């Protein structure tokens, strides 16, 4: 359900950015009158699209990865690699929360030049995305360890649902 909401948000942001870019080109080259706010709006939308999309890709297990070596390792090494991977994601999320939060706080009182939107709003997506990624990585780590303990796969395939426990109905 959350993935569908995030997909809808990404779709809406991308559609709005494309529409603004298209209208901006029409205004500039057909009507010979540039839209002063279109560049700032496009940058803000692409920034939000990047960080929301990054979190969505993490949730869906669609980030770039090379598993050819890891799947050939013994199970104990696979869980070690999985744990290291999840801890790196948690560390990156923490960096995003800490430094992105500092940026959002430092620029909370300033505004963009043309649209006069609070700059802190533009930076706020960084710590939010980092926090969500960290939470997802921790829950993924717990799920991976549970799968490992039950003898299941340590890594889930792309978009694979969490396997049902014995005696439980599947999704």
Q: Which segments of the chain have a pLDDT < 70?
A: 156-171
Give the burial class of 21: count Cβ atoms within 10 A of its Cβ; 0-12 exposed, 13-18 middle, 19 or more buried.
middle
Give the burial class of 15: count Cβ atoms within 10 A of its Cβ; 0-12 exposed, 13-18 middle, 19 or more buried.
exposed
pLDDT digit string (tens) for 24-48?
A: 998 888 888 888 888 889 999 999 9
What is the model's pLDDT at position 159? 46
Report how far residue 21's alpha carbon sits from residue 17's, in angstroms, rounded to the nearest whole number.
6
Query: For residues 133 and 89, is the Cβ–Cβ distance under 8 A?
Result: yes
Q: What is the DSSP letter of 72?
A: G
What sign has the CA pseudo-torsion 79, 135, 156, 14?
Answer: negative
- CA-nearest of 148, 145, 143 to 161 is 143
């Amino acid at each position: 359900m959350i993935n569908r909401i995030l997909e809808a948000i990404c779709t809406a942001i991308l559609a709005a950015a494309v529409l603004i870019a298209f209208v901006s080109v029409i205004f500039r080259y057909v009507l010979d009158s540039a839209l002063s706010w279109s560049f700032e709006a496009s940058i803000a939308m692409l920034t939000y699209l990047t960080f929301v999309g990054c979190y969505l890709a993490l949730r869906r297990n669609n980030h770039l990865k090379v598993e050819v070596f890891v799947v050939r390792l013994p199970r104990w090494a696979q869980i070690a690699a999985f744990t290291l991977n999840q801890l790196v994601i948690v560390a990156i999320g923490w960096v995003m929360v800490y430094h992105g939060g500092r940026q959002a706080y430092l620029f909370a009182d300033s505004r963009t030049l043309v649209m006069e939107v609070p700059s802190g709003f533009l930076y706020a997506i960084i710590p939010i995305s980092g926090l969500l990624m960290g939470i997802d990585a921790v829950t993924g780590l717990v799920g991976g360890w549970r799968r490992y303990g039950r003898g299941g796969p340590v890594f889930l395939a792309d978009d694979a649902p969490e396997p049902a426990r014995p005696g439980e109905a599947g999704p």
